[in-house]
Structure formats: structure tokens, C-alpha cells
Amino acid sequence: MSISAVSNGIKLPLPKTQWHQRILSAQFLTHFQVSSAPYPPSLHLKRSFNFSKERFRLVKASAAPVVEAPKTSFRNKKPADINVLVVGSTGYIGNFVVKELVKRGFNVIAVAREKSGIRGRNDKDKTLEMLNGANVCFSDVTELDALEKSLANLGVPIDVVVSCLASRNGGVKDSWKIDYDATKNSLVAGRKFGASHFVLLSAICVQKPLLEFQRAKLKFEAELVEEAEKDEEFTYSIVRPTAFFKSLGGQVELVKDGKPYVMFGDGKLCACKPISEPDLASFIADCVLSENKINQFLPIGGPGKALTPLEQGEMLFKLLGKEPKFLKVPIEIMDFAIGVLDFLVKIFPSLEDAAEFGKIGRYYAAESMLVWEPETGEYNADKTPSYGTDTLEDFFKKVLTEGMEGQELGEQTIF
């Protein structure tokens, strides 16, 4: 079997084996997806408002001291009188965040594209259905003018911005376009219409930034902190979750079908405390009002102990009542592939995304999604806070009976 990367009309064969795809799906590759075209801004109110770099630089996930909420804070209002703008509202996490905020009684304004989701597969009606209970604002977060015009059309002030934006393909340019530029647009536009708090869905892996999307996120995080330093009435909460369930479920159905569980090295190279979409959404919703989350970096995992890929595989075989069967892949294979792609990028620059995807795969094969301690040079599971009740074991049980629907990683553009 082989797969090709097409660049500038040149077709390059890339090696692929039967388990190659599984290795990649075994990692937290959430970024191999396509983005759809922007849309002119328009507003759909479903209910009335109550108008009331360095490559190896390590970044510590330390928490700032708890600060007092600004005096004029929206926090004194009832949720029904608080207007929360959610960007990235149609994503895996963003959609749960919208549901949770609606459930808690906030006035939610969900910014969306008319064709949302992986490959733009949700049309306008489906998008409106997904965002039921929120006021849907069709706009383009990648264009500041368009976004500002849409918010002006709303005619209401914004109190809080929640960003769950993320590049859908994880490529170098798209990461900067979404994880930095579009997220920055939502800050600038939100501020223009009065926002005094910003909740950012980031990622725990930015502590050790080796990848382009991590650098893009870090740049935005730094500017958010600067904004709060310039204006004491403005606050932020930066949420840095560990792994999502969808990123760990890729092998469940294959193992059920009798295939071995694929892992790198001895299966103990990395570990994580996975968190479900509803639990993470609940934590993010807490950040809207919780004063003890103001101006904080908030690493967050799910309940229970940290799990290595080996332990995840063992859990799966136990649930199936089968003898464990592992396929251990040397991590050096990825180093070799990355070396080849890095070399090819020099000749074919348009292969930069393929090279970046290789690095993403390598990163998640070897780096834990836990709090990193620069002092010890180690990840620390005990210092990685837990939140919520949903366990990976329950998630595996659900996938074994119901499949992976709703947990898709999205289109893989290269692998």
C-alpha cells in the first residue's frame, strides 16, 4: 500500500503500511482536517436577548496568584444578563461548551460558519440545530472587519469571550491563521464591544513547544496576559487540557476486530489524564464566573490516575475479555520519517505540512500530556489537576457498543 502527497503538481510517494495509519490514529492527531471557505457575516437570533520561540523553550504551567475581580465586573450580574461570545462553537469541545453555557442560563452568542464541522459537512440548518439555545451569529473569525461588523449588527455588548478555535488541519499556515490570528481577532473584536474577560481553550502541550500550533497558541496566550497587564479591568483564564477522549479511541474498534494494540517503544514513553468533552466544557464554563480562575494558567485533566498507552491497551483487552496482543513500534521509525520529510521540504517547500504532521505524531508518541516541571525535567501526574467524573474506561465501553460516532478526528489530509 502506498499514499501520495501532491504538491505543486509533483506527486511524491510516501511510505505507508497497514499499521502506519493506526500508529498515527493512536496519537493525539486532531489536526488532519480541512477548513471550509469563509462566509459573509449574518446573524441568526434564536431567542431574544436579555440586554441587560525558540524551538526548545520550555514554558511552565504555573498559576498566577489569585487576583481580586475588577469592581465593575459582569460577575455581579445574573447569568441571564451576561452575554458570552463563543468562537469555535462548532468544534468537538466548543459545541459542548455552548450547550453547557446555555444550560447554565447565560446569553450565548455562538459565532459559526454557515458550513461548519469537518470538511464543512454541516449545512446552515444543521449548524443552527447543533447550536440550539444559543444566538447564532454567522460570521468569519478570520476577518476582523467582518467579525466586528457582525458584532455591531448584534447591537448588544459582549461581557465574556470564550475561544475554542483551533486549526482543523494543523498545518503550519493554518495554525497561525486560526490559533493565533483568528483567536486574536476574537479578542480585539470582543474588547471593542466591551468584553472584560477572555476564556481560552489552549493545550497542556504548549508547556514544551516544539510544534507550530503550540507556538501560535503561546503567542496568543502571551498577548492575552499583556492585555490584562495593561488594563486591570480585563481578566483571562487560560485552560490547558490534557488529552481528549477522541484522541485515544482510534484503536478501540480495531482491537475489537482482533487487531493488536499499536504503541511506541514499551508503551510507557508517555502518559495522560484524559478528559471528556462534557467535563472539559463544564470546567470551561466555570471559568466564566469563577473568581479563583481569574488570570490563571489552568492545566486540567480528567479523573483517575495518569495512563500510559500500555495501560490503555490493557484496559481495552480486559474490557473485551481477550488476551492482550501488542504491536510495539520503535520510536526511531518516526525519527527516520521526520528526517526524510525535513530533507524533502528543502526541495519541495509545499511539503512543510507533511513534515509538521510527522512532528506532531512524534511529539504525541513520546511526550506526556501532564504538567511539566522544568526544575526536574519531568512530567508530574500528581501536579496535574483532575476534574469531572467521566472515565476513559467508560468511554471505551461506549465505543465498543456504539462505535466512534461523534468522536471523529476529522479528515487526514496527508496520512
Ligand X SMILES: NC(=O)c1ccc[n+]([C@@H]2O[C@H](COP(=O)([O-])OP(=O)(O)OC[C@H]3O[C@@H](n4cnc5c(N)ncnc54)[C@H](OP(=O)(O)O)[C@@H]3O)[C@@H](O)[C@H]2O)c1
Residues lying near ligand X in the complex (CB under 6 A) are found at: 28, 30, 35, 88-94, 113, 116-117, 141-142, 164-168, 178, 201, 203, 241, 243-244, 247
Provide DSSP, 161-188. Answer: EEE----SS--HHHHIIIIIIIHHHHHH
- Nearer to ligand X by Cβ, of 248 and 329: the residue is 248
- Nearer to ligand X by Cβ, of 69 and 199: the residue is 199
Would you give the end-to-end CA distance of the chain in angstroms?
12
- Nearer to ligand X by Cβ, of 69 and 316: the residue is 316
Closest approach of ligand X to the CB of residue 82, in Å: 22
Distance CA 31, CA 167 (A): 7
- Nearer to ligand X by Cβ, of 88 and 267: the residue is 88
Q: Which of 164, 317, 175 is nearest to 254 (CA)?
A: 317
Strand pairing report for 107-112 and 135-138: parallel
**414, 32 in Cβ contact below 8 A?**
yes
- Nearer to ligand X by Cβ, of 196 and 202: the residue is 202
- Nearer to ligand X by Cβ, of 130 and 255: the residue is 130
Q: Which residue is nearest to ligand X (CB)?
A: 91
**136, 110 in Cβ contact below 8 A?**
yes
Closest approach of ligand X to the CB of residue 50, in Å: 26
- Nearer to ligand X by Cβ, of 93 and 224: the residue is 93
3-state SS class at 397 = helix
- Nearer to ligand X by Cβ, of 75 and 99: the residue is 99
Distance CA 404, CA 155 (A): 41
Closest approach of ligand X to the CB of residue 48, in Å: 25
Cα 52 versus chain centre, distance: 32
Closest approach of ligand X to the CB of residue 208, in Å: 13
Element (H, E) at 4: strand 2-7
Provide DSSP, 329-361. Answer: E-THHHHHHHHHHHHHHHH-GGGHHHHHHHHHH
Distance CA 117, CA 126 (A): 10
- Nearer to ligand X by Cβ, of 88 and 309: the residue is 88
Closest approach of ligand X to the CB of residue 274, in Å: 8
Distance CA 303, CA 35 (A): 33
Closest approach of ligand X to the CB of residue 35, in Å: 4
Closest approach of ligand X to the CB of residue 66, in Å: 24
Distance CA 294, CA 287 (A): 8
**274, 244 in Cβ contact below 8 A?**
yes
Distance CA 42, CA 101 (A): 22
Distance CA 298, CA 67 (A): 14
Could you give the angle at which helices 144-154 and 183-192 cross, rounded to 10 degrees? 40
Closest approach of ligand X to the CB of residue 244, in Å: 4
Closest approach of ligand X to the CB of residue 68, in Å: 29
